[in-house]
Amino acid sequence: MKNEILFKGYILSISVLLLFSIVIGLARSAESMKQEMKSSYQNSVQVSKLGYFIDDISGDIQNLVSVNYKMNNASSDTYNVSISDNITINKMAFLANYSSFLQGYGNVTGANISFSYSDPLTINFSNGMRYISPFNRYYVLFRNSSNSSQASRYDIAVYSNRSYSNYNEWGWAPSGTFVSVYYSDPTRSFTTSGYINPAFLNTFIIRYSGGQEVRIYAGTIDGIRNSIEVNQTSLVYLTFVSINATMPSALPASYNMGLNISYLNTNYSASVPA
């Protein structure tokens, strides 16, 4: 009887120890899972925060030159890209102040942010198209980085704060690249459109009193076909220039601005997306 009682006590002790081991194992597993979930959540928050920084900076640059794109309704292989340039803003002063702001912003948020830029402000598209906006604000240029023709249509809108005296259209062609021109100033506006030969330099001249001019060039500029340039002889005339282009494979697009962000365990080192 005594041996039987001892045996039962031994079995009970072993059972308790096994149960205790299982409980400890489950507790450790739950804690490990909790830590993994916490780490995953923290990483998700960090990535989300990094994305917020990038989107916020890109949105601020859009105040200088904004880019919008949508799929062309007539063809899923082409995009309608709209670029709007605020000519009135001093881009050099804006970017210098913005660079200083980002350093302070990084200090407040705990992020390490470095930002670089150069003249001219440029937007590079994946298909080789490039929009160029020099800091001097006398002209803007939109063309391919090579001599291949990417855009099948341009819609150009020019806004001025002075009333024009007269204008001369370029020589329209029976076929080629379709171009429409919309002009607006405080007293009047006009719209004209048609085809231009992309192999020629076509010049559209808008004249003001005092001999000032706004010139729109379309076609071959500096040896590159199918380019667009809007040029002014005085800074006091143009306020906004908008160029819409229909072209294939336009995305992604980015500004020629370097952006490096380190936030906790996440990093971003690339150009500012447009």
38 domain residue, yes or no: no
97 domain residue, yes or no: yes
Which range marks the domain in which residue 157 is found?
A: 47-273
23 domain residue, yes or no: no
**258: which strand partners?**
116, 271
- Cα dihedral angle (58, 63, 69, 70), rounded to 10 degrees? 100
Q: How many distinct structural domains can be found in the chain? A: 1
* pLDDT tens figures, 264-274: 788 889 999 99
130 domain residue, yes or no: yes
Q: In the chain, which residue ranges form alpha helices assigned H by DSSP? A: 2-61, 91-109
**144: which strand partners?**
129
* pLDDT tens figures, 137-191: 999 999 987 776 678 899 999 999 999 999 999 999 999 999 999 999 999 999 9
Q: Give the residue-averaged pLDDT of 32-61.
A: 64
Half-sphere exposure of 62 (CA within 13 A, CB side): 14
The pLDDT value given to residue 36: 46
Q: What is the CA radius of gyration of the chain?
A: 31
Whole-number Å distance between alpha carbons of 66 and 121: 12
Whole-number Å distance between alpha carbons of 201 and 53: 43
32 domain residue, yes or no: no
* More reliable by pLDDT, 42 or 162: 162
Would you call 73 exposed, middle or buried from its count of C-beta atoms within 10 A (0-12, 13-18, 19+)? exposed
Angle at CA 202, nearest 5°, toward 173 and 205?
115
152 domain residue, yes or no: yes
Q: Let me know: does 64 contact 91? Beta carbons within 8 Å.
A: yes
Residue/partner pairs of 207-212 with CB below 8 Å, 24 or more apart: 207/164, 207/165, 207/166, 207/167, 207/168, 208/162, 208/163, 208/164, 208/165, 208/237, 209/165, 212/162, 212/237
Would you call 140 exposed, middle or buried from its count of C-beta atoms within 10 A (0-12, 13-18, 19+)? buried
* pLDDT tens figures, 63-93: 999 999 887 666 667 788 999 999 999 999 9
Which residues, 6 or more positions from 89, have their beta carbon under 8 angstroms from its beta carbon? 63, 64
pLDDT over 60 (residue 41): no
Q: Let me know: does 259 contact 100? Beta carbons within 8 Å.
A: no
The pLDDT value given to residue 39: 42
Q: Let me know: does 85 contact 63? Beta carbons within 8 Å.
A: no
**195: which strand partners?**
173, 178
Looking at residue 211, the DSSP 8-state letter turns out to be G
* pLDDT tens figures, 211-225: 999 999 999 999 998
Question: Mean pLDDT, the chain, as a whole number?
Answer: 84
40 domain residue, yes or no: no
Whole-number Å distance between alpha carbons of 234 and 231: 9
Q: What percent of the chain has pLDDT above 90? A: 56
Nearest Cα to Cα of residue 120 among 146, 102, 139, 97? 139
Residue/partner pairs of 189-197 with CB below 8 Å, 24 or more apart: 196/170, 196/171, 196/172, 197/173
